[in-house]
Amino acid sequence: MWKPSARGWGAAVAIAALVAGASLPASAAPIGADATSAVSASNLIRDDYPTWDQVNAAKANEQANQAEVANINALLDNLEAESARLADEALQRGQEYLKASYDLQAATGYADTLSAQADTATADADRATAQLGKLAAQLYRSSGDSTLNLILNQNDSDSLLYQLGTMSKITEQTALVQASAETARNTADALTKQAQTAEAERDRLAQEADARLKDAEAAQADADAQLASAQATSSTLVAQLSSLKDTTVQVENAYRAGEAAKAEEQAKQRAAAAATDAPGSAWVPSSSEIASPAEAQAYAQSILGNYGWGGDQFSCLVRLWIGESGWRVNAYNASSGAYGIPQSLPASKMASVGADYITSASTQIIWGMNYISDRYGTPCNALSQWTARNPHWY
């Protein structure tokens, strides 16, 4: 039975979670995120971030102040964009592995079927060959007896005719069995060759699947390392920004969260217009305990009251997320990058609830309910908007 688990896909902590994180309901605690270690070399950590001395100097000059505010905002935007890109790239590599593994399964089944058919045909050919040998021996004995009787018992015509008739029938049967044996042998040879070809293709696909697996693991490891290294940088940049603008860190986070929500709405509109396929399934490491759709729905129903929603809202939530993902934890839309039960865009936004958002139904559901509560108030309001839009999005 699945239970909400803190096992995540590495320690991917998105920068967006630091500067635009969604809040949890009072009674719903976030899934514990894995601790991340510092990484010495990172594409996200550069040497051109402002120092505090530069920030303080800029505050004394209005023009420099505005320029530095714009610079820091741009740096934060780049960090957030890069965090989303890295997370999506890891999901794409996982999708490639998933396809390769499916191809391998199909090829393995085909090779096994051909091999079994070849074995059956070979056994049939062996039985026909053995039967042919027995008939040949019987024909030899019948032929020898008939020749001797023709010499010694020329007056016993009835007996001789019987023996000759028997020999003729054996000859006919022998010809039929021989033809059957040749057909079975040819079939066995052809199936064996096909099986060998299928097995070679299976072996090639096995190597390809292994390579895709390594690519996916490497992509996720890279994302984990770089995003973890960027945490401190993002926090510092937000603090510097609030100092330059004489605001608090909380105000800056709230402002950036609002701007991110506007950008996300525009991105969803574009993604919905461009999408041609329903979400497929993305491979997720350590996914042996992923919740089924029924288990995910049960968990969502259990925390519905934390948001002040009545039971009537649950049916709307079920319909909404059936339309979005079928309530599948690993639902992945390759055309947009949306992921999970609530189809977060990008997937890394759900890291604001837990680092295990790739595999955890509870983390995804809490994030999705937070999103619905903040944006629409209730699931039924969200469903109404989703239904009214064509193509659908919320």
Domain CATH for 251: 1.10.287
Same domain membership, residue 220 and residue 153: yes
Q: State pLDDT tens for residues 359-382.
A: 899 999 999 999 999 999 999 999
Work out the angle between the directed axes of helices 157-244 and 249-274 (0-180°, nearest 10).
150
Euclidean distance between the first and the last CA atom of the chain, given in angstroms as a whole number = 31
Classify residue 39: in a domain, yes or no: no
Same domain membership, residue 384 and residue 236: no
Give dist(CA 23, CA 21) in Å, integer.
7
Classify residue 289: in a domain, yes or no: yes
The per-residue pLDDT for 10 is 37
Same domain membership, residue 232 and residue 140: yes
Same domain membership, residue 392 and residue 246: no
With CA atoms as reference, report the closest residue to 212 among 90, 357, 334: 90
Same domain membership, residue 297 and residue 203: no
Classify residue 7: in a domain, yes or no: no
Are the beta carbons of 124 and 181 closer than 8 angstroms?
no
pTM recorded for the entire structure: 0.56
Among the ranges given (53-62, 95-104, 184-193, 212-221), the one the predictor scored with the smallest mean pLDDT: 53-62
Are the beta carbons of 368 and 380 closer than 8 angstroms?
no
**Residue 331 three-state SS:** strand
**Residue 15 confidence (pLDDT) above 80:** no
Q: How confident is the model at residue 28 (pLDDT cuts 50, 70, 90)?
A: very low
**Of the candidates 240, 255, 274, which is a domain's last residue?**
274
Classify residue 320: in a domain, yes or no: yes
Same domain membership, residue 371 and residue 327: yes
Classify residue 2: in a domain, yes or no: no
Same domain membership, residue 164 and residue 309: no
**Of the candidates 246, 274, 302, which is a domain's last residue?**
274
Same domain membership, residue 193 and residue 291: no
Count of domains forming the chain: 2
Give dist(CA 234, CA 238) in Å, integer.
6
Same domain membership, residue 248 and residue 104: yes
Classify residue 154: in a domain, yes or no: yes
**Of the candidates 256, 274, 292, which is a domain's last residue?**
274
Classify residue 239: in a domain, yes or no: yes
Classify residue 4: in a domain, yes or no: no
Same domain membership, residue 108 and residue 251: yes
Q: How confident is the model at residue 92 (pLDDT cuts 50, 70, 90)?
A: confident
State the residue range of the domain holding 222: 13-25+47-274
Give dist(CA 339, CA 84) in Å, integer.
12
